[in-house]
């Protein structure tokens, strides 16, 4: 579904990512994990063309991701960031329906889809009329997910979607999020620095280090057959018991 080939990204002349190859398989959850500054968010932004590679290529469903194709590609990929990225001047409903409205969907179609998604992400419908400033962090993330899912995209990209939430809200939302992923069967690429969260969501874990892939595999692969001492060190650094 998503394929990255020999991609290199530089910032101010310094290589931040790559050269790197990665395939995100259709219907699977791929989790990008690693210490901060390892390039995981950069890699995610390359997937929907928010960043363009300095070398190599990114392709989506066989077509290259480029400035010319970016608009179309993005409409087939939902994108959720840490604090939700909701537009403060629009209500929850307005945020979710912004693109659909621009594309000329009828009112009825938008309302139906919004109700459907609110049920899916377990957001009470009476909150749809509220502005982001009137919603809690968890509620904002649910709205952000609705916005990402509005056009029923094939891919979901999530950049630390739960990073700003307190532990209780976070674990509740983790459950709901996994439920959504499972019921929809979408191709998901999720960025986190939390190994527990990676294990919770990930079919495939991709551990990044200094812009390259240190190891790719299941958590068992990483724990039992670490590619190098860094992998073990990274896993052990997180104290929470994961199994």
Partner 1 sequence: MRRALFALLLVAGCGARPEVIVGSKKFTESVLLGNMAEQLVAAAGLEALHQQELGGTRILWDALLAGEIDLYPEYTGTLREEILAGERIAGGDDALRAALASRGLRMTGPLGFSNTYAVGMREERAKRLGIRSLSDLARHPELVLGFSHEFLDRADCWPAVKSRYRMQHRSVRGLDHEVAYSALESGDIHATDLYSTDPKIQQLRLRVLEDDLHNFPPYRAVFVHRADLAPAAAAALARLQGVIDDREMIALNARADLDKVDECEVAAGFLARDLRLAARPCAEAGLARRIWDRTVEHLFLVAVSLLAALIVALPLGVLSAKRPHVGKVVLGVVGVLQTIPSLALLVLFIPLMGIGALPAMAAMFLYSLLPIVRNTATGLGDIAPGLRESAEALGLPPGARLRLVELPMASRAILAGIKTSAVLNVGTATIGALIGAGGYGQPILTGIRQGDHALILEGALPAAALALVLEALFGLVERLVVPRGLRLEPSE
Q: What is the 3-state secondary structure (H, E, C) of 8-54?
A: EEEECCEEEEEEEEEEECCCCEEEEECCCCCCHHHHHHHHCCCCCCC
- Asked if 132 interacts with partner 1 (CB under 8 A), we say yes
- Asked if 135 interacts with partner 1 (CB under 8 A), we say yes
Which lies closer to partner 1 via its Cβ, residue 134 or residue 236? Answer: 134
Encoded tokens for 110: 């938008």
**Residue 225: CB minimum distance to partner 1, A:** 36
User: Between 25 and 54, how does the x/- string for binding to partner 1 read (CB under 8 A)?
Assistant: --------------------x--x-x----
Which lies closer to partner 1 via its Cβ, residue 40 or residue 45? Answer: 45
**Residue 207: CB minimum distance to partner 1, A:** 25
Q: Where do the H-state alpha helices sit in the chain?
A: 40-47, 70-75, 92-102, 107-120, 137-149, 167-184, 195-201, 219-224, 229-237
Q: Count the site residues for partner 1 by CB under 8 A.
A: 33
Whole-angstrom distance, CA of residue 99 vs CA of residue 152: 12
**Residue 77: CB minimum distance to partner 1, A:** 8
**Residue 126: CB minimum distance to partner 1, A:** 15
- Asked if 131 interacts with partner 1 (CB under 8 A), we say yes
Whole-angstrom distance, CA of residue 160 vs CA of residue 167: 14
């Amino acid at each position: 579904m998503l394929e990255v080939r020999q991609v290199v990204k530089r910032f101010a002349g310094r290589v931040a990512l790559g050269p790197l190859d990665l395939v995100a398989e259709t219907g699977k959850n791929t989790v990008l994990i690693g210490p901060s500054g390892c390039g995981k968010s950069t890699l995610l932004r390359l997937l929907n063309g928010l960043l363009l590679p300095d070398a190599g290529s990114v392709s989506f469903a066989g077509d290259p991701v480029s400035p010319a194709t970016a608009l179309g590609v993005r409409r087939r990929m939902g994108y959720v960031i840490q604090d939700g990225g909701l537009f403060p001047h629009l209500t929850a409903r307005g945020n979710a329906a912004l693109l659909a409205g621009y594309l000329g969907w009828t009112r009825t179609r938008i309302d139906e889809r919004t109700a459907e998604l609110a049920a899916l992400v377990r957001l009470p419908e009476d909150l749809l009329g509220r502005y982001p400033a009137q919603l809690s962090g968890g509620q904002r993330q649910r709205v952000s997910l609705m916005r990402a899912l509005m056009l029923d995209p094939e891919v979901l990209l999530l950049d630390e979607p739960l990073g700003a939430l307190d532990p209780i809200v976070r674990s509740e939302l983790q459950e709901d999020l996994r439920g959504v992923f499972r019921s929809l069967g979408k191709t998901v690429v999720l960025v986190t620095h939390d190994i527990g969260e990676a294990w919770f969501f990930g079919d495939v874990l991709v551990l990044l280090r200094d812009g390259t892939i240190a190891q790719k595999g299941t958590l068992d692969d990483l724990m039992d057959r670490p590619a190098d001492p860094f992998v073990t060190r990274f896993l052990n650094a997180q104290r929470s018991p994961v199994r």
